[in-house]
Amino acid sequence: QLQLQESGPGLVKPSETLSLACTVSGGSISSSDYYWGWIRQPPGKGLEWIATMYYGGSTDYNPSLKSRVTVSVDTSKSQVSLKLSSVTAADTAMYYCVRDGGYWGQGTLVTVSS
């Protein structure tokens, strides 16, 4: 059974960089059959697709965040990582790792506050 587990600091200071990891178990992270994504949901609000990483390492970033987002994969650790720089309170959200949209992690809440 494929499982995705997000991890990272729950509290980030304004202007700093948010760094999250998604550890994949029960399946291969290196397959041309799937893509990996990051989605976020501010408290009490809707869903926003942040970024997608495809097999081979190509990426798509949401233009609204493109200048601040980086997604990468570490196959040795079976991890997909998200970095979001220059964060503000507007980046406070539950962050989810997904595979294709069919598999979701439990999410990790990141609060941006001094």
Partner 1 sequence: DVVMTQSPLSLPVTLGQPASISCRSSQSLAHSDGNTYLNWFQQRPGQSPRRLIYKVSTRDSGVPDRFSGSGSGTDFTLKISRVEAEDVGVYYCMQGTHWPYTFGQGTNLEIK
Residue 55 touching partner 1 (CB under 8 A): no
The SS3 assignment for 114 reads coil
Residue 109 touching partner 1 (CB under 8 A): no
- 100-40-71-36 Cα dihedral, nearest 10 degrees: -10
- Binding characters for partner 1, 68-107, by CB under 8 A (x = yes): ----------------------------x----xx-xxxx
Q: Name the residue nearer to partner 1 (CB basis): 57 or 76.
A: 57
Strands 36-41 and 103-104: unpaired
Q: Name the residue nearer to partner 1 (CB basis): 63 or 76.
A: 63
Structure tokens that stand for 86 in this block: 């220059």
The SS3 assignment for 90 reads helix
User: Please, which residues bridge with residue 12 across strands?
Assistant: 112
109: CB partners within 8 A, 6+ apart = 10, 93, 94, 95
Q: Name the residue nearer to partner 1 (CB basis): 16 or 49.
A: 49
Q: Name the residue nearer to partner 1 (CB basis): 13 or 54.
A: 54
- Give the residue, chosen from 56, 63, 90, 114, that forms a contact with partner 1 under the rule CB under 8 A: 63
User: What is the binding site for partner 1 (CB under 8 A)?
Assistant: 37, 46-49, 52, 60, 62-64, 96, 101-102, 104-107
